[in-house]
Amino acid sequence: MNDIVIHVENLGKRYRVGQLEPYKTLRDTLVNAVVAPVHAVTSVLHGRPSTTDGSRSDNTIWALKDVSFEVRQGEVVGVIGRNGAGKTTLLKVLTRITTPTEGYAEIRGRVGALLEVSAGFGHPEFTGRENIYLMGAVLGMKRAETDRKFAEIVDFSGVKTYLDTPMKRYSAGMRMRLTFSVAAHLEPEILLVDEVLAVGDAAFQQKCLGRMGEVAQGGRTVLFVSHDMGAIQNLCERCILLEDGRIRNIGRTRDIVNEYLTTSLAISNVPLAERRNEQRRDATLIYTSIEFQNSRGQKLSNLSSGEDTSIVLDYLCKDTQKLEDVKILYTIKRMGENIVALDTELSKNFEEIQGKGRIICNIPRLPLMPGYYSLDIRSYSKRIITNHLYDGVAFYVKEGPFFDSGLMPPDSEARTLVDHSWVLEEG
């Protein structure tokens, strides 16, 4: 009983939608203060219930509701769910950055947190060296501790030569690497991590993943939020699946990841236009619809192995911007693991895109094993990201005529299908 280090009970967090606005002016509040009692009185006169704070209940959303779970000492627990499911809010409540509206949580041990470090949060005017100390202090490291780990941090970040350069001259990647490196050397008993692996280049991501693995093996308790099912499966024994702020299921990672991918299948049938909030806020190329079609141009809901398949993406350029040198990258993943990359750069990027239109990617004889997959969509213009829909589409591939026999290799033997033929030459 004593080895439970995180105990969460009926935790809930409500946001008033108005509060999500950047900030309000005093005048608005004064006006509201005058108007609210009138509203309250009118609603009483009309026999409608009035909420205590004078706001209408439809102005609030529960980002988190009735969340209860426990984590034992040394466990590595994944938190998964679609964008807006409440993962980040959960970590923000547990790290005390924001307070819950209801419920209760107890955490035993020194807590360290890594939230949205992607942007880095040092001060631009300070040098890398100064920022290491500053960030260390902010993250709760003692000065002596930072001293001790300084070399290690610098080494990990790979920005050694720029150590005495003000951070404003750093690239975004360097800034992020430095921040992550400081954070990665925290030694709390409980580590709360949010989506740290979505940053940096592949090599650095690998390094981060390795570091996370070390931390996990070091007997520390980790709560790990990620979209990366591969990382989740590598690191976590257990997973929590959140959906609309509630816990949908808790259990063994494999089962939960499967469930997540299955449910996101149902959700991905919702047209992209209604899922604008999952795309990047600063997107310059907006994805308005995506669908799969067969060779006759008919829409497919299920794909089959071996069938000629097209991925059809409708887009809309923001404003009247003309995008040049456009790269489209689809990554097909299974259980979070990359299986296939479909990349314009492998042949030729689109020279120019504007207005709206349709991008078609043809895949002859779909070489995928039967199962659930997700499709990650990214686009770039002149190497700058224009949009990203993280695992935006889930789909199911059923057995099909890839091989003339119609047979499929067993799941344990293969990841993809490869065209091949056999010849027997008898001596």
Binding mask of the shown chain, residues 175 to 204, with x at each position contacting another protein by CB under 8 A:
--------------x---------------
- Mention every residue, 6+ apart, whose C-beta is less than 8 A from residue 79: 87, 90, 91, 223, 224, 225, 226, 239, 240, 242
Minimum Å gap between C-beta 20 and another protein is 8
Identify which of residues 169 and 398 has a Cβ nearer to another protein in the complex: 169
Please report which helix (H) or strand (E) contains residue 34, including its range: helix 26-45
Does residue number 62 form part of the binding site for another protein (CB under 8 A)? no
Nearest-angstrom CA–CA distance, 262 and 251: 15
How many other β-carbons are positioned within 10 Å of the β-carbon of residue 33?
A: 10
Which of 97, 110, 137, 98 has the alpha carbon at shortest distance from 121? Answer: 137
Identify which of residues 5 and 272 has a Cβ nearer to another protein in the complex: 5
* Of the residues 56, 96, 254, 356, which one makes contact with another protein according to CB under 8 A: 96
Strand order in the sheet with 356-363: 299-300, 285-294, 309-317, 356-363
Binding residue count for another protein, defined by CB under 8 A:
49
Does residue number 64 form part of the binding site for another protein (CB under 8 A)? no
Torsion of Cα atoms, 344 then 345 then 348 then 349, to 10°: 70
Does residue number 241 form part of the binding site for another protein (CB under 8 A)? no
Single out the segment in contact with another protein by CB under 8 A; choices: 37-45, 114-122, 285-293, 373-381. Answer: 114-122
- Kindly provide the residue ranges of all beta strands, DSSP E only, lying in 262-416, ordered along the sequence: 285-294, 299-300, 303-304, 309-317, 323-334, 337-343, 350-353, 356-363, 371-381, 384-398
Q: What is the Cα 295 distance to its own chain's centre?
A: 33
Identify which of residues 34 and 423 has a Cβ nearer to another protein in the complex: 34
Minimum Å gap between C-beta 87 and another protein is 15
Identify which of residues 120 and 200 has a Cβ nearer to another protein in the complex: 120
Does residue number 117 form part of the binding site for another protein (CB under 8 A)? yes
Q: Which residues bind another protein (CB under 8 A)?
A: 2, 11, 15, 19, 23-27, 29, 92-111, 113, 115-117, 119, 121, 123, 125-126, 130, 133-134, 137-140, 142-143, 189
